[in-house]
Amino acid sequence: MEFAEHLKAVNIGEPAAAGGLKVFPLYPLRPAAVTVQLLADAVAHNDATVAEDAHAEGPWYRRVVVENHGRVALLVRDGDLLLGGMQDRTAERTCIVPPQAKVVIPALCVEQRRSQYAGREDFGVSRTSADPELRSMRIFASVRHQPLQDMTWNMVGKRRESAGIADRGGSLLEVEERVGKRLEESEAALPPVYLACGVAIAWARNRGAPSLHVEVFADAAACAAAWPGLVRAAAQGTCPDAKGPRVSRTELRKLFREAGRAAFEVAPEVGVGNLQRAQFGAGVATILSLEGRLVHASLFAA
């Protein structure tokens, strides 16, 4: 099924606004066809482990091993921020790890200064998704077949500087900790919406048009689990007293149509499923499907 058809299968609900964010719930117009567990939940419940790849080819920090001990397929998202190991990482791309399987996934370092164990040797998953600007720029670079790691370190450094942290080479986790109270307030004010299968989050930037991030999931349970982390991630780029941007459901649907007309390319295979990526006029999008059924879709625009 094409990206446009998947986006037609969601209905855009009434938005809520708080802390400079405007959040639209997305409701399914078709029954869920795939059941997945998010990596964060699987790790928290000991259904999965994330560890260093002892046999990595190339830079050691560019691969991690995800092992699914459970009976449900595991969804690893490019927004998963992995904390621990010899450096904090983020998953480079979205993929599916089948039940009772082990998959080596590409990763990107988001903690340049550390290269040894300090605390846990495996990885936990942050409650806050990775920086949406970093995620969108990574997809842009992937579509253009550009190097990703140096760009990632540069963007982490800029984000740390904007948070008032002098050392550019530390982790994104410290940025989150600086504004933790504000993130908690945004999370509490914009909770998951019952039965929503996706969420569209808009926030005002310092200059120009508002930023927008959309994620759609195979089922409502996966959406509810991911929702707080997505709100927290977007809230990092807002001011506490900022007003929600003027984005309407009509404008959002127009953006969906524009993304649906984009030419998608198939990404290299990792785990199971089919990942496609595309750049369009206002942004970038990815879609992960399994046997033609939607598992996860993400869209970033400015």
Instruction: Report the pLDDT value the prediction gives residue 302, as an integer from 0 to 100.
Output: 77
Tell me what percent of the residues of the chain surpass a pLDDT of 70. Answer: 97
Instruction: Report the pLDDT value the prediction gives residue 77, as an integer from 0 to 100.
Output: 96
Phi, psi of 117 (to 5 degrees): -70, 135
Instruction: Report the pLDDT value the prediction gives residue 207, as an integer from 0 to 100.
Output: 57
Instruction: Report the pLDDT value the prediction gives residue 279, as an integer from 0 to 100.
Output: 94
**Is the pTM here over 0.85, yes or no?**
yes
Instruction: Report the pLDDT value the prediction gives residue 54, as an integer from 0 to 100.
Output: 86
Average pLDDT value for residue range 226-241? 88
Instruction: Report the pLDDT value the prediction gives residue 167, as an integer from 0 to 100.
Output: 86
Write the pLDDT tens digit of every residue in 24-37: 999 998 887 789 99
Q: 37-46, 76-85, 150-159, 242-251: which range is least confident on average?
A: 242-251
Query: Going by C-beta distance under 8 Å and a sequence separation of 6 or more, which residues neighbour residue 80?
Result: 39, 40, 90, 91, 125, 126, 129, 130
Query: Going by C-beta distance under 8 Å and a sequence separation of 6 or more, which residues neighbour residue 180?
Result: none
Instruction: Report the pLDDT value the prediction gives residue 104, as an integer from 0 to 100.
Output: 96
Q: Which domain holds residue 38?
A: 3-301
Q: Count structural domains, the chain.
A: 1
pLDDT at 282 over 60: yes
Q: Nearest to residue 120, comparing CAs of 57, 173, 181?
A: 173
